[in-house]
């Protein structure tokens, strides 16, 4: 981006590292011997985010946490469960303080998401299920919902 508004700082963002912080996959079909005669999977995806300032100037840890549960619509038995914490270390400069929090929790997770989707797809395939390509997450809506939830809890 070029400088705008007569000398506003240029936004700089780069991904310094990406990593799996935690990964768990449970195949209940194999563990419990669930009969696969009548299986109608229902997939639920829960997403949460965490951002922390690092000791180095302009560096932030961003962790996306995904919990994916597949249940059988027929009898509500769990088929599989994935829990994935996927992180990135970002260098971010030039973002005004009042915009930094939403920037870290919207733009940074957007960059990490394709890697999360691939990991979940690979794990489900390797775990004996068809590869699961989760839908794109609207991180802006997720951020707005969390802000609204926090404001509502402060009023109570």
pLDDT of residue 74: 84
Joined tokens for residue 97: 């303080």
Q: How far is Cα 46 from Cα 65, in angstroms, rounded to an integer?
A: 8
pLDDT of residue 150: 86
- State the DSSP string of 68-137: EEEEETTT--EEEEEEEEEEEEEEEES--HHHHHHHHHHHHHHHHHHHHHHHHHHHHHHTTS----PPPP
pLDDT of residue 35: 63
Classified as helix, coil or strand, 30 is helix
| Lowest-pLDDT choice from 101-110, 122-131, 146-155 | 146-155
Q: How far is Cα 119 from Cα 21, in angstroms, rounded to an integer?
A: 13
pLDDT tens per residue, range 76-123:
889 999 999 999 999 999 999 999 999 999 999 999 999 999 999 999
Q: How far is Cα 77 from Cα 96, in angstroms, rounded to an integer?
A: 48
Backbone angles phi, psi at 71, to 5 degrees: -120, 155
pLDDT tens per residue, range 8-46:
678 899 999 999 999 999 998 877 776 666 678 899 999
CB 50 within 8 A of CB 62: yes
CB 95 within 8 A of CB 115: no
């Amino acid at each position: 981006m070029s400088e705008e508004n007569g000398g506003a700082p240029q936004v700089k963002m780069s991904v310094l590292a990406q990593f799996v912080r935690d990964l768990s996959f449970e195949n209940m079909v194999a563990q419990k011997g669930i009969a696969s005669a009548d299986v109608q999977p229902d997939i639920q995806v829960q997403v949460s985010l965490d951002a922390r300032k690092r000791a180095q100037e302009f560096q932030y840890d961003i962790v996306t946490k995904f919990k994916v549960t597949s249940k059988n619509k027929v009898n509500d038995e769990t088929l599989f469960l994935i829990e994935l914490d996927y992180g990135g270390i970002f260098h971010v400069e030039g973002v005004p303080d009042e915009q930094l929090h939403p920037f870290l929790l919207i733009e940074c997770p957007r960059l990490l998401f394709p890697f999360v989707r691939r990991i979940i797809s690979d794990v489900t395939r390797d775990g004996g299920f068809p590869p699961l390509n989760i839908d794109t997450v609207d991180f802006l809506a997720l951020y707005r919902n969390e802000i609204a939830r926090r404001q509502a809890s402060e009023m109570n």
